[in-house]
Structures are given as structure tokens and as C-alpha cells.
């Protein structure tokens, strides 16, 4: 089972790439908030279905939800909502490249926070691999003028870096919730925490939309076929992210998840016919080197 987290993470990254493509079309049709809440509202039924299938397939009952597990999951769910909001805020004032560059510092932040919050192990070799892979993403997503803007414009820098931090907190919260369940296999525990987290996020965002932006909620149902597809892909990706979190440290999962950037670049080049630059090739090579080092130093 030592390499199962690798398979789960790669599947999750591929599914998330597909979900992002589906959601990008939704954003133009129903707005940013409407498209954002689709992944939770329409993903929850599929997550519940996955939990039911896992329970029937393993013959295990759904484990009882302890207060520590609930607390970690609430932390992860709310941090993910906050991170998404800050990411969108950063994109309003700065380019997609700048936003991506700051958010993709997440693996480094996850590694450091996880040591303190949930005691995940971190060796010097693993930290080096995480830094190398993250540097590769920064090369992919930044140009010279972008880097200067990151250093001179402090407000987008602050919100972008905080978004990356909160995405890291979310990963740690979800792993902490899985580990805090008192019983069950990795599959049933991962599926349980996924359902709980999506239920929390759905309740929060539906309450927000009902109070402040009802059109965003009703618009999602107006395009329910696309919303269902995006919700399924989101729940499917999350299912495998959570399986990864149940099997290894959050830092390992989020570092290997950087292959999602390579997948998105491949789609741009092969499907959309966009040119790949020399800088992007160098960045891809550094990401691959970092991920390869991470996998080589696994215990």
C-alpha cells in the first residue's frame, strides 16, 4: 500500500484538471460565486454515494465522528472556502500568473505547518524535494516582469500568499480529521471526512447565497446538467485527494499534486494548440526533478 497514495494523487490531479475546465465554462455563464459553490452543492450527493459504495464494498460501518475529527474537518472546510475567496480576490487585481505563483507555494507551507499541527514527519531530503518542485512551478508561472510585480505590489502578494497558506491549512485539516477518526480502513475514513467537509461547505455557501446573492444559487440550477458534471468531477477528485491524505503526509500529496500544472500545460499544448516556451520546458523539468526526488526519498 506504500505507493497507493501516488496513484490516488495522480488520479485526483487529473480529475481536478477536468473539473477546472468544466468550471471555467460555468464562470462565464453563472458568475464566480455560482461556479464556486457548484463543486460543493452538486458534489455532496456524489460524495455521499461514494461513501455508501465504500461502506457496502468493505462491509464497514461509517465510523463515529469524534469532536477532534469534526474540529479538524471544520478547520479544513472553512480554510478552503477562505482560500478560494482570497484566490479570486487576488485574480481581480493581478494576473493569473502572479496568483498561481503565490498559491503554488502551498506545499512548502503545508510541510512546515503539518510538522507543528499534526506531527507529520519531515526529513531534510523531503523538504529539499518540496522546494525544488515548488520552484519549478514558479518558473512555469512567472516571467521577469511578473516577479517584479510580486515584490513591489504588496497587497496582491499578501492575499495570494495567504490564499496559499489557507489551502495548506485545509489540506492539514482534512488529514487531521481522517486521522482523528477512531476506527475504519483508510477508504471508509477518507470517504466519511469528505462527506462531512462538503456538507459543512455546502451549508455555509448556500446560507451565504440565500442571504446575499440568491441569483448565484438559482443560476446553478438553471444549468443543472453542466453543474452536475462539474460537481461529479469535483467530488471524484476530492475522493482521491482524501484517500491520499489518509495514506501519507499532506506535504507529500500536495507536492505530487504539482503534476496538475504539467497536465494543464499538456492540455494547452496538445488540445488548444498553444505554444510551449523554453521557460516552460525548464520549469517542467524542475518540477519533474522535484517530484522524482520526493518519490525517491519515500520511506
Instruction: Please name the residues in contact with 101: beta carbons below 8 A apart, sequence gap of 6 or more.
Output: 137, 138, 141, 142, 146, 150, 160
**Which grid coordinates belong to 181?**
477518526
- What is the spatial distance between Cα 93 and Cα 75, in angstroms, rounded to a whole number? 27
- What is the spatial distance between Cα 271 and Cα 67, in angstroms, rounded to a whole number? 47
- What is the spatial distance between Cα 169 and Cα 84, in angstroms, rounded to a whole number? 12
Position 94 scores a pLDDT of 55
Per-residue CA distances from 78 to 44, 85, 195, 205, 298 (Å): 16, 11, 14, 10, 31
Q: What is the DSSP string of 162-219?
A: HHHHHHHHHHHHHHHHHHHSSS--HHHHHHHHHHHHHHHHHHHHHHHHHHH-HHHHHH
User: Residue holding cell 499544448?
Assistant: 269
Position 1 scores a pLDDT of 57
Position 299 scores a pLDDT of 52
The DSSP element (H or E) to which 272 belongs, if any, is: none
| Cβ pair 177, 185 in contact under 8 A | no
- What is the spatial distance between Cα 255 and Cα 179, in angstroms, rounded to a whole number? 20
Give me the tens of pLDDT residue by residue for the chain, a chain 299 residues long.
568 999 999 999 888 877 766 766 676 778 777 877 888 999 999 999 999 999 999 999 999 999 999 999 999 999 988 887 787 676 665 555 555 666 666 777 777 777 777 777 778 887 888 788 778 777 766 665 455 555 555 566 677 778 888 988 999 999 999 999 999 999 999 999 999 999 999 999 999 999 988 888 888 888 888 889 888 998 999 999 999 999 988 888 888 887 777 776 676 666 656 666 777 778 777 877 877 777 777 65
Position 232 scores a pLDDT of 93
Instruction: Please name the residues in contact with 35: beta carbons below 8 A apart, sequence gap of 6 or more.
Output: 23, 26, 27, 29, 220, 230
Amino acid at each position: 500500500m506504500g505507493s497507493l497514495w501516488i496513484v490516488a494523487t495522480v488520479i485526483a490531479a487529473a480529475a481536478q484538471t477536468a473539473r477546472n475546465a468544466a468550471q471555467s465554462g460555468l464562470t462565464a455563464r453563472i458568475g464566480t460565486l455560482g461556479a464556486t459553490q457548484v463543486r460543493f452543492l452538486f458534489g455532496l450527493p456524489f460524495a455521499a454515494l461514494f461513501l455508501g459504495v465504500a461502506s457496502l464494498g468493505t462491509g464497514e460501518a461509517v465510523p463515529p465522528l469524534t469532536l477532534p475529527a469534526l474540529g479538524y474537518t471544520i478547520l479544513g472546510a472553512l480554510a478552503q472556502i477562505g482560500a478560494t475567496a482570497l484566490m479570486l480576490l487576488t485574480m481581480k487585481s493581478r494576473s493569473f500568473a502572479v496568483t498561481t505563483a503565490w498559491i503554488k507555494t502551498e506545499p512548502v507551507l503545508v510541510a512546515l505547518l503539518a510538522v507543528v499541527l499534526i506531527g507529520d514527519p519531515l526529513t531534510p531530503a523531503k523538504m529539499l524535494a518540496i522546494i525544488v518542485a515548488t520552484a519549478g512551478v514558479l518558473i512555469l508561472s512567472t516571467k521577469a516582469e511578473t516577479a517584479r510585480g510580486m515584490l513591489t505590489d504588496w497587497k496582491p502578494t499578501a492575499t495570494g500568499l495567504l490564499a496559499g497558506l489557507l489551502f495548506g491549512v485545509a489540506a492539514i485539516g482534512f488529514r487531521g480529521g481522517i486521522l482523528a477518526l477512531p476506527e475504519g480502513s483508510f477508504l471508509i475514513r477518507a470517504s466519511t471526512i469528505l462527506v462531512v467537509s462538503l456538507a459543512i461547505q455546502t451549508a455555509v455557501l448556500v446560507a451565504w447565497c440565500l442571504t446575499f446573492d440568491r441569483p448565484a444559487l438559482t443560476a446553478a440550477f438553471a444549468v443543472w446538467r453542466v453543474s452536475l458534471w462539474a460537481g461529479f468531477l469535483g467530488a471524484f477528485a476530492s475522493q482521491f485527494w482524501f484517500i491520499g491524505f489518509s495514506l501519507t503526509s499532506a506535504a507529500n500529496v500536495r507536492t505530487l499534486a504539482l503534476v496538475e500544472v504539467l497536465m494543464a500545460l499538456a492540455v494547452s499544448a496538445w488540445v488548444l494548440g498553444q505554444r510551449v516556451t523554453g521557460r516552460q520546458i525548464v520549469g517542467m523539468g524542475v518540477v519533474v526533478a522535484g517530484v522524482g526526488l520526493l518519490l525517491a526519498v519515500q520511506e
